Structure formats: structure tokens, C-alpha cells
Chains A and B, each alone.
Chain A
Amino acid sequence: MAVIIETPNSPRTKKQANWEKYGWLFMRVSGPLLIVLVFTHLISNLVVGEGIKAIDFAFVAGKWADPFWQVWDLAMLWLAMIHGTNGMRTIVNDYAEHETVRKSLITILWAVCGLLVLLGTLVIFTFDPCPAGAAVELLPSFCPVN
């Protein structure tokens, strides 16, 4: 009878969902997207039309009254924050030698990222373009006071 030797090369202990792979993919996808998002943002704010002089409260209020720019800014906020935080995480992984220091730095990083994303999202969606009692000349043209 042939001796059956069990395969000595079974993969090592299985890990759970592999975040490194998705992290890597996310960086490749969000990078190019951010280039388009950020540069369109810059050009539309600073170059076209009246250029940089046009920027005031009314300009921002006008933009955020438009769902298109709401979604645009939201995408920019989320992608940039997660992309940047993940990059910082890699640097921390490289340089923090003590496990506790590394863990705490990474926890702080994600906490700050979460907080900023939350605040930013809140502002984009709850922004009031016509706050009561504001000076009329600062408000966008579509406000009822005009």
C-alpha cells in the first residue's frame, strides 16, 4: 500500500478579511479620482468666471445649494480624509517601533479622521445659505430677504 504523506504545504493559519489588499486598492482608485475632484474644484473656484474675487459667503452658499456640488464636495472630503489617513497609517507602521505607540497613534489617526469626516458631512448637508439676521449684502441672491 502506498504511503500517503499529508501535504506539507497547506497555507499558514487563515486570517480574516484582508484589509491590506482593500487598502492598497482604495489608494489606487481614490488617488486618480482625487486628482480630478481637487483640480476641478480649484479651477471652478479660483479660475473660471470672476476668479478668486468671486469667493465670499454667497459664493459658498450658492454652491452648496446645488446638490451637484454637495455630492462633489462630499466625495472630496471622504476620499481625501481616508486616503490621507491611510497614508499616515503606513508611515506610522514604518516608524513606530513600540506596539503600544503604534496602536495608539493609529487609533488617534482614525478617530481624528472620523471626527473631521463627520463634521464636514454635517456642514455640507445642514448648511443654511440664508441665516436669519445676517447682513443682506452678504447673502446669496436667492435668499428670501432679497
Chain B
Amino acid sequence: MADKAIAEVISLKVTLMIRRFDPEVDSEAKWVDYDIEMYGTDRVLDALHKVKWEIDGSLTFRRSCAHGVCGSDAMRINGRNRLACKTLIKDLDLSQPIYIEPIKGLPVEKDLIVDMNPFYQAYRDINPFLMANDKPKRERLQSPEDRARYDDTTKCILCAACTTSCPVFWTDGQYFGPAAIVNAHRFIFDSRDEGAEVRLDILNDKEGVWRCRTTFNCTEACPRGIEVTKAIAEVKQAILKGRA
């Protein structure tokens, strides 16, 4: 039984085109192609592993959980930001090579690894923690409705797929970017939090929410299905109304 099921898994011949850059050797990035044989159940991450483990050990990329939880392996696959560990090879157009590049808008350090510090700095700047002055003896209670208000934005795994798909961020690295706004949204609309005004003030900046041009690239890129553009619009509304 088990043998039969395994035998049915199709095998695919795929060509990977990977954007490689070694700061110690290269002056600029180049495309390198790898022909490999993969199973229909494999993901792009498995293909990268195959290259790294069997063909070229110097291929460098981040991954940790391999199951779409940690957010370390966001990359540009066939021109779209995705998590390599959540992208099945058989879902891609295999009549042409699979193009894999680092996410755009952050400095490339090596191969698929970019410097995430500017991204995290924007995250830090919006105070991503509960701000409350009361000193309760037990946990702070919240109604299911109040919890539902910001449920969508609690799902963020900080993979940077949204921020690095944003054309405003590509040309203006100062822009807070969708991910920072999503995480601000998560606290701004939390009934237990008292720091909404501080955060709204931070995002009511030249490089804050007004930079957003509702391109919807972020919503499309988010591997967690967060309605990023909607969250940004809600923050804009909150700023206009002066409160969440």
C-alpha cells in the first residue's frame, strides 16, 4: 500500500536559475543555473537543499522551520515574493526555469541572504509591545469581539515578503513599510493597549502610512494571507479620526 502511494509521486526535471553573489569574489550578482530532478511533492526549499547538499555547498540562504512558521526564507520566486518552504514546485510553470532571487530593496549580503536590519528597525520603531499603565493582579481580559478586531494582523511572521514587494519601499528605504504598519495595527486596535496615540503619531510621518499608494503588492505577497493593504487603510483612517 505505502509503496504504491510513493510510486505514484511524479518526478520532475527542473532548472533553477539562482541569483548568486559572493561578496568576496563577485563585483555583481549573476544568474547560475542548476538542472535537478525533484518529486512532485517537493517545495522550492527542497530544491535549494538539493543544490546545496549535492551540487554546490556554497549556496547560501536562510531557513529554519521549513514549515512556514519562522519567516526566514522569503525570496523572490519567478518574480513574486514567497516563502520557499510554502511553494510547491509542481505549482510553478515548469516549461521555463524557476528564477530565484533575494527579496528586493534590502542590501544583499550573500546569494539569497539580505541584511534585514533596516526592516527590523522599522518594526522596532513602532513599539511592538503592549503599552499599558495599569498593574493588574491577573491577566487582562478581553472580549472575543475585541480580540477579533485585530486578529488578522496577529498572524504576521515578519518574513518581509510584503515590505520588499512594495515599490515605494524599493525606492525609498526610509518608508516604514507594510510589515511595520501591520504590527502597529496589531497593537493600535488591541483594546488592552494604551499606546495607540503614540503609534499613530509615529506613523503619521512623512515616511509613514501616507507613503502607501494602495498598490496591493503587499497583500498579494503575504504568505499568511494577511490583508495588509486593508490594515494600512485602517491605520490611515484611525489617524484621520485621531483615534483607533
Contact = CB atoms under 8 A, between A and B. Distances in A.
Interface stretch (A13-21, A75-83, A122-130): A13-21
Given A9-B127, A20-B206, A20-B208, A90 B239 contact: no
A94 interface: yes
A25 interface: yes
Nearest to A18: B204
Q: Which secondary structure characterizes the binding site on chain B?
A: helix
B193 to A, nearest CB: 12
B204 A94 contact: no
Interface string B190-219: 000001001001101110101101000000
A66 to B, nearest CB: 37
A25 B241 CA distance: 12
Interface in A78-113: 90, 93-95, 97
Contacts of B205: 15, 18, 20
B97 interface: no
Most chain B CB within a 10 A radius of its CB, from A11, A18, A25, A93: A11
A33 to B, nearest CB: 18
A95 B201 contact: no
Interface size class of B (residues with CB under 8 A): 20 to 34
A39 interface: no
A23 B171 contact: no
A12 B172 contact: no
Nearest to B211: A20
Contacts of A11: 198, 201-202
Contact of A9 (B131, B171, B204, B239): B131
Interface of A is mostly: helix
A68 interface: no
B34 to A, nearest CB: 34
Contact of B172 (A21, A23, A94): A94
B211 to A, nearest CB: 7
A24 B210 contact: yes
Nearest to A19: B206
A24 B171 CA distance: 19
Contacts of A10: 198
B206 A97 contact: no
A11 B201 CA distance: 7
A97 B202 contact: no
Contacts of B198: 9-11
B49 to A, nearest CB: 37
Contacts of A24: 210, 236
The 6 closest A-B pairs by CB, nearest first: A20-B210, A24-B210, A9-B127, A94-B171, A20-B206, A11-B201
25 contacts: A9-B127, A11-B198, A11-B201, A11-B202, A12-B125, A12-B202, A15-B206, A18-B205, A18-B206, A20-B205, A20-B208, A20-B210, A20-B211, A21-B204, A21-B210, A21-B239, A21-B240, A23-B210, A24-B210, A24-B236, A25-B240, A93-B171, A94-B168, A94-B172, A95-B171
Interface of B: 125, 127, 131, 167-168, 171-172, 195, 198, 201-202, 204-206, 208, 210-211, 213, 236, 239-240
